[in-house]
């Protein structure tokens, strides 16, 4: 009886070690699942965002000419008006709205159609106009209306301003504190502002997401993390390690009693 219980104890210890050191597949990101193609896989993930009506652009013209005319938030290299992009207020005061027709209107320059242009293309278009008035100048253009909303089973749901040219879905989830233990990592919903009727299913446990056009997000995108099945039943994932540990402890006690 003692020998039999010893064998059982050894087996339980082995199972416990295996369970404790092996993470469930549904909780591991970007796994190699045989390179199977899914609905999120497309041809490229490097598409640049195209400006559209109602976007907000930060535009600043920097010139070495101390007596240059005021052109699109211009300032001389020797000083400035204090409207620095590093402050929210400064960025707001130096921003321009894209109207419903896709135009922005700048001092001295007038209207420029930026609809469908990337930020880089917009900068070049404005720079060409500014060069007519200022020979030694640099135009800076940033997209201010870049917000991402993350909802559902994440630590800190909310809307987050993005101060960079692009962000991917993993970075956005990190801003929200990552998924909770109840978050379904294989069925994350992505709602794009450009196509709200099309809800995209994202599986961040599959590494094919890295080659997807939906890996990088666009302004206004909404990410919704569904709860997994255990949340619906009011339970967390089954505690295998705890159960095996309890059984092992019980067997050791019984083994000690029968000695």
Tell me, yes or no, whether 106 and 181 share the same domain.
no
Tell me, yes or no, whether 204 and 173 share the same domain.
yes
Q: Cα separation of 49 and 120, whole Å?
A: 10
The predicted model gives 95-119 an average pLDDT of 93
- Model confidence at 80, pLDDT cuts 50, 70, 90, reads very low
Tell me, yes or no, whether 150 and 117 share the same domain.
no
- Identify the CATH number of the domain in which residue 153 sits: 3.10.560.10
Tell me, yes or no, whether 130 and 151 share the same domain.
no
**Domain encompassing residue 204:** 25-47+146-232
- Kindly give the pairing relationship between strand 147-152 and strand 222-227: parallel
Predicted local confidence at residue 188, as pLDDT: 95
- Model confidence at 17, pLDDT cuts 50, 70, 90, reads low
Domain count, the chain: 3
Predicted local confidence at residue 20, as pLDDT: 47
Tell me, yes or no, whether 60 and 135 share the same domain.
yes
Tell me, yes or no, whether 43 and 151 share the same domain.
yes
| pTM of structure | 0.67
Count the Cβ atoms, other than its own, within 10 Å of residue 109. Answer: 16
> What per-residue string of b and e applies to 50-87 under the rule 16 or more CB within 10 Å gives b?
bbbeebbbbbbbbbeeeebeebbbbbeeeeeeebeeee
- Model confidence at 195, pLDDT cuts 50, 70, 90, reads confident
Q: What is the pLDDT of residues 147-161, one digit of tens each?
A: 999 999 999 999 999
- Model confidence at 191, pLDDT cuts 50, 70, 90, reads very high
- Identify the CATH number of the domain in which residue 70 sits: 3.30.1950.10
Q: Cα separation of 228 and 250, whole Å?
A: 32
Predicted local confidence at residue 88, as pLDDT: 67
Q: Cα separation of 139 and 164, whole Å?
A: 17
Please say which residue of 143, 171, 188 terminates a domain: 143
Predicted local confidence at residue 22, as pLDDT: 42
Q: What is the pLDDT of residues 210-232, one digit of tens each?
A: 999 899 999 999 999 999 876 55
Q: What is the pLDDT of residues 227-257, one digit of tens each?
A: 987 655 555 555 556 666 667 676 767 666 6
Tell me, yes or no, whether 138 and 207 share the same domain.
no
Asked if the model's pLDDT at residue 122 lies above 90, the reply is: yes
From 46-50, 75-79, 138-142, 158-162, the region with the lowest mean pLDDT: 75-79
- Model confidence at 76, pLDDT cuts 50, 70, 90, reads low
Asked if the model's pLDDT at residue 104 lies above 90, the reply is: yes
Predicted local confidence at residue 111, as pLDDT: 94
Tell me, yes or no, whether 157 and 186 share the same domain.
yes
Q: Which residues contact 159 (CB under 8 A, 6 or more apart)?
A: 147, 148, 149
Tell me, yes or no, whether 190 and 83 share the same domain.
no
Q: Cα separation of 133 and 148, whole Å?
A: 37
Tell me, yes or no, whether 91 and 161 share the same domain.
no
Predicted local confidence at residue 38, as pLDDT: 47
Tell me, yes or no, whether 194 and 74 share the same domain.
no
Tell me, yes or no, whether 41 and 116 share the same domain.
no
Place of tokens 């900068």: 123
């Amino acid at each position: 009886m003692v020998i039999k219980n010893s064998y059982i104890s050894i087996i339980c210890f082995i199972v416990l070690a295996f369970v404790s050191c092996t993470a469930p597949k549904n909780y591991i990101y970007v796994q190699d699942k045989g390179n199977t193609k899914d609905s999120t896989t497309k041809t490229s993930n490097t598409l640049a965002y195209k400006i559209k009506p109602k976007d907000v652009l930060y535009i600043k013209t920097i010139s070495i000419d101390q007596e240059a005319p005021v052109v699109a938030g211009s300032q001389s290299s020797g000083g400035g008006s204090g409207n620095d992009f590093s402050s929210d207020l400064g960025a707001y005061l130096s921003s321009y709205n894209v109207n419903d027709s896709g135009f922005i209107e700048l001092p001295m320059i007038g209207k420029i159609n930026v609809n469908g242009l990337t930020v880089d293309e917009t900068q070049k278009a404005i720079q060409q106009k500014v060069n007519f008035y200022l020979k030694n100048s640099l135009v800076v253009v940033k997209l201010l209306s870049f917000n991402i909303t993350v909802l559902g089973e994440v630590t800190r749901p909310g809307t987050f301003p993005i101060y960079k040219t692009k962000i991917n879905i993993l970075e956005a989830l990190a801003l929200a504190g990552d998924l909770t233990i109840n978050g379904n990592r294989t069925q994350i919903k992505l709602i794009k502002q450009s196509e709200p009727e099309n809800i995209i299913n994202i599986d961040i446990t599959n590494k094919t997401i890295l080659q997807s056009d939906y890996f990088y997000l666009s302004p206004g995108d909404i990410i919704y993390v569904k709860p997994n099945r255990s949340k619906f039943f009011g339970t967390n994932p089954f505690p295998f390690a705890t159960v095996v540990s309890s059984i092992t402890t019980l067997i050791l006690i019984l083994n000690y009693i029968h000695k």
